A = this chain, B = another copy of it.
Amino acid sequence: MIGLGLIGGSLLRAATQAGRDAFAYNRTREAVKAARDEDFEVSDNLSATLERAESSNAIIVVSVPMPAVDAIFDMIARLAPQCTVTDVVSVKGAVLDAARHHGLAERFVGGHPMAGTAESGWAASFPELFHDAAWVVAAESDTDPNRWLDVAQLALDCGAFVVPANAADHDRAVARISHLPHVLAETLAIAGEAGQDLALGLAAGSFRDGTRVAGASPAIVRAICEPNAKALLTALDEALGELQRVRESLTEKGTLGDLADRGHAARTRYENVERSPIEGISVGKDGWAEKMCEAGRRGGVVRSLNELS
């Protein structure tokens, strides 16, 4: 694990709890000390950690914010030239580009566990964070099938289920269900605060829940959303289109139009989303990655590698 924030820290805990040998690097000494106090093997020496990864044929999990990925990939290229590399960054296209840029493409498998809290840092980490969470393991046309299986097994060991997707599909999807929610939550918080003490004092469940993720650190929100600017813009433009239609309907007729009916139907579909097991795909056979992504698009998930083929 390179980086012991909420995700990296929880991953170190979960992988260890699953019986895997796991060790980590972290930049700040406080988290290193705190993790060592709990008997985890953690170093503040990146080079030594990567050399140890190489000599033990470890899977390297890059769990740093997007802005730090380039520097880490550069170090991996130099010090750990054989290891499988994955990541837990919330955007996959930009990380894949960086992996290609640093010559890591053939041993890189993108990853994204869909889990988090409004908290951050090692202190907030806990091993159950991934329990029954979706974990995207990216399948590109040139992804090494054995490395894909290794990364998928890590996700499964941490209690997650695997959703296969390529980077582009992933980024479009998370723009809608993760990045747009952040933008709307920040916007709602600002609009509420403009109502001063009376409005904030009257705020109940709808405002509390609608603004919850605005409690996340601004730096983390930017690091999550900004590398996915293009897909976020598409989702934001759709939302702006809806809001403009509501605006028109409120102005002209004093009504919400069909917004509430369509929103309710959408929320109901989300509540009833079905995750069917992916079967009959032999990882490594011709076209396996495309088949895997197609199955993921239809809502398929992998809960055990044995079920796959």
Binding site for B on A (CB under 8 A): 114-117, 133-134, 136, 163, 165, 169-170, 172-174, 176-178, 180-207, 209-219, 221-222, 225-226, 229, 232-233, 235-240, 242-244, 246-247, 250-251, 254-256, 259-271, 273, 275, 296-299, 301
Residues of B within 8 A of A198 (CB): 163, 165, 169, 173, 296-297, 299
Contact A204 B263 (CB under 8 A): no
Describe A's contact surface by its main secondary structure.
helix
Residues of B within 8 A of A192 (CB): 176-177, 180, 266, 270
A203 to chain B: closest residue by CB: B177
Contact A264 B215 (CB under 8 A): yes
Min Cβ gap A15→B in Å is: 20
Tell me the bound Cα distance from A183 to B242 in angstroms: 10
Contact A297 B263 (CB under 8 A): no
How many copies of the shown chain assemble into the complex? Answer: 2
Contact flag A196-B297 (CB < 8 Å), given A136-B202, A180-B191, A242-B191: yes
Contact A240 B238 (CB under 8 A): no
Apart from A178-B206, A200-B273, A211-B263, what 9 extra A-B contacts exist at CB < 8 Å? A163-B202, A169-B198, A177-B204, A198-B297, A209-B213, A215-B264, A222-B255, A222-B260, A237-B247
Min Cβ gap A91→B in Å is: 12
Contact A215 B268 (CB under 8 A): yes
